[in-house]
Structure 1
């Protein structure tokens, strides 16, 4: 049973959102598979899963990478309504991608109504200082406004990548309604689960 772990009680769906070419697929692939994709083939979605430990408890994350769903508004809205947490990306080298996250956050609020929107704001490509268009202070200020964690990451070298998903789990748990336990996997589910998997 090599490569299998006890299936955790917590099971979360996390959606990675952001403009085209901000690094959604690179982030999900580096986190779940431990590799940086040199080329990303467009598709409607990619699914990744990985078990991580947060606050001394294992959690299974199903990560939805909305690769080519930008033009499929209904599909993206479905993800927003039905997922547990969100990673919202912009590229520090692309001012337009930073401006695009604000209307995205507003849309998330409208679609989810009174339900919380657990999210982490992430600036990607932080290693490309010569091409930077968005200051760290701008990302930090927006995260303060949204009251959410903020990170700048370098996906290629995996700098801060794991922390993105640890933080989103903490946000989901912190914003869960009082008395509500984390989502649980049905009792008849398999007792073991691959530590990592990728469905392309």
Structure 2
């Protein structure tokens, strides 16, 4: 999609990665944000991909959001997708304590190992707050983890859409405040962050959704 002048119809293109255990609701969170819908989805096989257009202030943004599989057998596959990400969202399920424990045991270590951008903005998201009676991880624990690992933090519900847009918008606002990241995301000199080796992707789909 381009304008008649041949110039991009956005000011910045940012790559955002969703990581976390299988079943925490990464795909549902992405679908809720990009399509305003909710489904209990089967675990992602490999990597899924969607695009979302946002306008924040006077800036038109294009987000390329990569949803990675949480199962261990896909880790080698998904590790390459950390490269060039301006934002990484770590998702856990507030009703499953193991998904929170694995943030420090697995996912924070993967960021350190695979992320190529030292200024990358990290966000911690506790999903499924609509199941408050089943909560196994307190909000304070999430706040403490985020403080320790230098992350933004929000709790949300992909099902009810509580705080879904805020998760992505707060992340993007922080990216926009980081000069090295805005330089990378400038439409004038942006590398093709959509191009991946097809052999590395078991299942990839794309969806183009304009924000309302």
Q: Tell me the TM-score range normalised by the shorter chain.
A: 0.7 to 0.9
Residue 80 (structure 2) pairs with residue 67 (structure 1): no
TM-score, scaled to structure 1: 0.82
Give structure 2 stretches of 5+ with no counterpart: 2-7, 190-206
Matches within 5 A, 1:20-35: 20-35=22-37
Q: 2:4 is matched with which residue?
A: none
How large is the Cα RMSD of the aligned pairs? 2.5
Give structure 1 stretches of 5+ with no counterpart: 188-193
Structure 2 counterpart SS, 1:16: strand
Q: What number of residue pairs does the alignment pair up?
A: 186
Structure 1 counterpart SS, 2:30: helix
Counterpart CA distance in 1 for 2:108 and 2:177 is 19
1:24-45 Cα offsets, whole Å, 9 max, x none, are 0000001001100133364222
Distance 1:85 1:32, change over 3 A: same
Match of 2:147 among 130, 140, 144: 144
Q: 1:161 is matched with which residue?
A: 164
Deviation of residue 182 (structure 1)?
A: 4.5
TM-score, scaled to structure 2: 0.78
Counterpart CA distance in 1 for 2:45 and 2:37 is 19
